[in-house]
Structure 1
């Protein structure tokens, strides 16, 4: 008996506390790593990870996959789903019953009575395969959802990289403009005090400087938000230095790639595969609900002795009479849930196909607009340089000069905005295509080094 008790105790789980963290994030990029083993489902193009010289767009994406707090929660959900699949495959424990009755008034030929029984829920055994199938499909759905979340995190990292770089470029352009206009304001104020200018005339110059200062402040706020989002995505502390280097990610899907992706969409997109796995899990749950409508069966064996010292052995069978419930409510719920999942999947596929076609059309329009706007901005920049020379030589009045400068500034900022919008649409299309350069190269190609 002691041996059995020892074996039972050795198989028991033990408790260990897990204190909460402080949630401060990494104080420096140098504390972060991007090992290949941490990306089993996302293989980057061969790239050397070395943050000592700053982070390029690929390194930012690599760090997002490994260190994103949201992805860590998703991986925890996968651990829960796998634990549930493990639990669904376990056999139900048998039930052991023992009872003993003591005589109140002992007498000759009488003894205490006892009963000993061992029973097993047969219905739980019969439904084990359905439970396992449902749990395994559920775990597969969570795993595919994690893969899709990783793809989305890579796309988000690329978008934020581009957004931060664009805002920094806009800020540099606005700062340069602010510096140039600052040289005009003393002359305007001096002319006002001397009576050579009216406030109506001077307002053009004063408003130009105020408008640029406002744009500088608005751009700084937008940049703070973008940098903060990128810090969170990478698991960095809010005050950690973030050096971004290199060009933003360039994505340009060909019409052939789009058409091929539309054809293969249900077989390659992780989110659609996840919905398919969820549907299979629901099919198994519906089968289990149908099986549960049949009478529940419990079989046992027992041994007993009465007070006259007569011993007996026998068996017991417990059965639920399906007269009223018959599990009809659960069957109806599982059928309705299956229909909901079916409609959800078909709606997702339709939305995805529509979004892809829309993005292709948008990108074509944005490309045409970019060519036109780039030429327009180049012309206005040339006009700004000529106007600056004319104003310095006294050949051009300053209101006209400021109007030309304002038009050139607006064109430059619009071009930067358009480039970012085009990059956003291109990255979104690539994510919808399931073509993120993350599923075709072996993970061992990723190199992580310690700077």
Structure 2
């Protein structure tokens, strides 16, 4: 199971996409950290009369006002990079737990398919014996039809299981980027156990500090807050300061200082300020909504798990009772106290109950994996995922 999870983390297209986005954010962080370049200007005049020399003017200037909002832009770039790093971590959480769920589901379906194949083989033999008994007039027609129906139902159940197993295997192969048709031999995973309720309550207290997607939203809000601050700084006049060196047509050299100021009369960066402010408010509301949705989802899954848990316990109790009945029926059949059709009917009921129990167990597993992802723990050992996926 560890090998499957490790390969999923290495080959998942979603993780590769998140890594590329992190690379882009890193490049943008580097670009935002660069200082603006100075401006070099040169002009020359050619006199049209004799006795004069060509004039020129050389200037070197720098946008000093760009240094005012640079700290805010740098902090915004750092937060943007942190946001993408947390988004990558959140993707790894989801992929790891999804790989675990697919692994256990494949193992469960493979085990169940093997059991059903054995039972179908046995029921085929029983049906053939009943049909021969019918030809000898040792059993009635209704007994023969019952045996035939039980066998056909089992064959149909087996076909459905094979289809589900094939689909689950293809999904796992896709996650691991294996060739189509690749068949994995999966070792039995350790038994899963429920997440303790006290652990869930403890995790919910600091859920906003634990889940990477929520932390990414907080980093995104911090980024936008800095961009809003930079937009406020940018409303002040743009200031360029430079030095000049020139010569006129009379061969007189001059040196000077140049200052240019942009007057914020019509624009004043007010449009950008409004956009950055609205974006910041949107991110704040999105964070609050995502946090509320997380609490609601955890509560809903807890309720669903409680209901499914009761159903699973009842199903396992029914399966155990049927197994006992089948064992007793085998003994009674050997003693001649139970007919073959009655035994076949009990075995068919046990088959259907095993399938139902397995599907319920898989539903519980899927809900547990979803719960673990929501609260930020591993679905394998319920340990915090932050340390495992760094």
TM-score norm. by structure 1 comes to 0.76
Task: From 123, 148, 168, give the equivalent of 1:226.
Answer: 168
Q: Write the deviation string for residues 167-193 of structure 1: whole angstroms up to 9, x where unpaired.
A: 112211221222122224445666788
Kept in 1: contact 2:329–2:343 (CA 8 A): yes
Residue segments in structure 2 that go unaligned for 5+ positions in a row: none
Aligned to 2:54: 112
Correspondence list, 1:28-67, <5 A: 57-67=1-11
Partner of 2:60, secondary structure, is strand
Which residue of 194, 209, 213 corresponds with 1:271? 213
- Separation in 1, partners of 2:354, 2:132: 31
Q: Which residue of 1 aligns with 2:38?
A: 94
Shift of 1:68: 2.5
User: In the alignment, which of 72, 75, 83 is matched to residue 141 of structure 1?
Assistant: 83
Q: Does 2:24 correspond to 1:80?
A: yes
* Residues in 1 aligned to 2:310 and 2:63: alpha-carbon distance in whole angstroms: 70
Greater relative contact order, per chain length (Cα 8 Å cut-off, separation 6+): 1
2:294 to 352, 355, 380: 352
Secondary structure of the equivalent of 1:60? helix
Deviation at 1:311, TM superposition (A): 3.4
Tell me if structure 1 keeps the 8 A contact 2:8–2:96. yes
Equivalent pair of 1:69/1:232 in contact (CA under 8 Å): no
Q: Does 1:163 align with 2:108?
A: no
Q: Distance in 1 between matches of 2:191 and 2:63?
A: 59
Instruction: Give the match for residue 33 of structure 1.
Output: none
Shift of 1:270: 1.7
Structure 2 distance, partners of 1:443, 1:401, is 52
Deviation for aligned residue 1:390: 5.7
Residue 429 of structure 1 corresponds to: 371
The answer to whether the 8 Å contact 1:109/1:309 transfers is: no
After superposition, the C-alpha distances for 1:69-115 in whole angstroms (9 at most, x for unaligned) are 32122122212212211111110111212233445x5x422233333
In 2, are the aligned partners of 1:162 and 1:248 still within 8 Å (CA)? no
Q: What's the counterpart of residue 70 of structure 1? A: 14
Structure 2 residue corresponding to 1:407, chosen from 335, 349, 352: 349
- Answer whether contact 1:102 1:112 (CA < 8 A) is retained: yes
- Provide the secondary structure at the position in 2 that maps to 1:183: helix
What is the CA-CA distance between 1:400 and the residue it aligns to?
A: 4.4
Q: Conserved in 2, the CA contact under 8 Å of 1:363 and 1:426?
A: yes
Structure 2 distance, partners of 1:296, 1:375, is 78
In the alignment, is the contact (CA less than 8 A) between 2:41 and 2:60 conserved in 1? yes
- Normalising by structure 2, we get a TM-score of 0.87
Change (3 A) 1:209 1:101: farther
1:378 to 303, 317, 320: 320
Contact 1:251–1:427 under 8 Å retained in 2: no
Count residues in correspondence: 386
Query: Which moved further from structure 2: 173-182 or 241-250?
Result: 241-250
8 Å CA contact 2:89–2:389 kept in 1: the answer is no
Q: Distance in 1 between matches of 2:156 and 2:41?
A: 80
- Cα distance, 1:98–1:262 mapped onto 2, change above 3 Å: same
| C-alpha separation in 1, matches of 2:242 and 2:70 | 19
CA deviations over 1:376-419 (Å, ceiling 9, x no partner): 11111233344456667776566544443332111111111122
Report what 1:448 is aligned to.
none
